[in-house]
Amino acid sequence: MKKILVTGCNGYIGSHTVKALKQAGYQVHGIDRTYSMNKVQRYLDLYMHGDANDFTKAYRYDAVVHLAGYISVEESVEQPFMYFNNNTLGTHWQLHFNCTNGCNNFIFASTAAAFNPVSPYAQSKLMAESLVKAMASNFTIFRFFNVAGNNGEFEQIGKPTHLIKIAAETAAGVRPYISINGTDWDTEDGTCIRDYIHVSDLVEGIVRAVEIPSNREYECIGTGKNYSVRQVINTMKKISGVDFSVVEGSRRAGDVSSITIPNGMLSEYINCERTLEDMCLSAYKSELRRVG
């Protein structure tokens, strides 16, 4: 039985990945230095709480799924060193130890923001991609587009930064309103355009990469369908039946008008079965459970 390490196992994508790998029959170890509401221990053969430097040197893994990292564009602009230290140097440490300890498959969570690396967040991930390609014998670099929704058990954690999560909180009454960061972008309705993918579709691709590494420059993980901020907000209003308040604000530092999958570059690792409506509905139901 293959032994898999998932870094950032308590996180949003990490928790979904741990469950999917365990259900696929792997021996799964997880590590995270933060706690969360996501109770992943039941799906782990070994849970390690703390920094990866403290634990993983004791084990040899057949594959590492490196999901740990900071993800806020806005925060990265304010604290760039923290992002390079964690996202870039942290990836280097994982590669250095695991690849010299017999691991021959490294799966890395990158970002679609690497296509236009304006923010320190995007730059830190792009630099980490270069390290993966230079140091791993077999690898898969997943450039995640906007990940949303949940499996009904696990949730997004920490300070909300994702549009669908924030829209769901607003529809459920957790927030008094939602802000649009800029309405003067060069798009059809003036708001930013992104590709959104359901987390359950994404983790199915991660499971496939455990057996079949890509060894290509990167894999675009999205649906190939693009939505503006206004379209996402209107979809959340439709599925929730709540006409919540929307405030138009100024642009956010580090943002770009559009991040979409280039033509013909949608990854073959992904079979998208879930729609934007599915993402919004699962996120909304999750918030309703939380507010009781």
CA 267 – CA 134 distance, rounded (Å): 22
> β-pairing, 46-49 with 63-66?
unpaired
Q: Which of 121, 196, 227, 284 is catalytic?
A: 121
**Cβ 122 vs Cβ 158: under 8 Å:** no
Q: What Cα–Cα distance (Å) separates residue 37 from each residue in 14, 94, 140, 154? A: 13, 25, 29, 8
> β-pairing, 146-148 with 106-111?
unpaired
Cβ contacts of 212 within 8 Å, gap of 6 or more: none
CA 21 – CA 6 distance, rounded (Å): 10
Any catalytic annotation for residue 269?
no
User: Which residue is it, tokens 């730059």?
Assistant: 123
Looking at residue 257, its amino acid is S
CA 72 – CA 104 distance, rounded (Å): 30
**Cβ 177 vs Cβ 247: under 8 Å:** yes
CA 213 – CA 217 distance, rounded (Å): 12
| Of 287, 22, 252, 288, nearest in space to 156 by CA | 287
Which amino acids are annotated catalytic? 121
